Amino acid sequence: MPSQLNAQSFHARTSTAARFRSGAGEARSQVFMGVSSTPSTLLAQRNRAANSTLATAKALGTFPPGNRKFRDAIGRGNPSDFFRLEVTENSRIKLFLTNRSSNAITGAILNQRGQVINLNGKRQLITLAANQQSNTLLRSAAPGIYYLRFTSSDTSKTNYEVNLFVNRKGGPAPLPCGCEG
């Protein structure tokens, strides 16, 4: 490990810290465990630590009601993304996944132990070929912690878009447009 950091490396470290201010302290500490003399190596470490495990999953918030729409990418140095949501009452979780790349991608709804949820013999899992979209619906999510996981076996960059809808069980069906009733 170098004993001194050059100005470029220091700038990359401070910029990374600013990006993680809203994230979990756990993710922040993982970023700085290894010090690199090159910004590109540090950036790869930051990308991998950001949300590539259950422990570092990005928090989406507390539901219901609510929806979230976001875009992200996985690939070299970041083979999977995890997102965490907390459900406070019996709800329906609907996940729309759009593959915005030429690589296959898999999305899944996981329980608090990180296992793909199996409901009535159907795993809450979506596998999409290039430029496809699909959805999965978990009709009876009990209160608790859930995770979304996105993976690709391809090492090149795989872009995706997610529309997540959570509403009370027995409430109106989630709308695919993201508009509120």
Domains observed in the chain: 7-51 (no CATH), 58-168 (2.60.120.380)
For residue 40, is pLDDT > 50?
Answer: no
Instruction: Evaluate if pTM is beyond 0.75.
Output: no
**75 within 8 A of 158, measured Cβ to Cβ:** yes
- DSSP characters for 81-129? EEEEEEE-SSEEEEEEEEE-SSS-EEEEEE-TTSPBPEETTEE-EEEE-
Burial of 82-96, coded b for 16+ CB within 10 Å and e otherwise, reads: bbbbebeeebbbbbb
Residue 121: predicted pLDDT: 78
Strand partners, 66: 166
**What does the pLDDT look like over 114-159, one tens digit per residue?**
999 988 778 888 999 999 999 988 888 999 999 999 999 888 999 9
Instruction: Express as a percent the part of the chain with pLDDT over 70.
Output: 66
Alpha-carbon span 44 to 46, nearest angstrom:
5
pLDDT of residue 171: 58
**What's the rounded Cα separation, in Å, for the pair 177 and 93?**
15
Q: How many whole angstroms separate alpha carbon 125 and alpha carbon 13?
A: 37
| Average pLDDT for 164-179 | 65
For the stretch 89-105, pLDDT in tens is 999 999 999 999 999 99
Judge contact between 96 and 133, C-beta under 8 A: yes
As a whole number, the mean pLDDT across the chain is 74
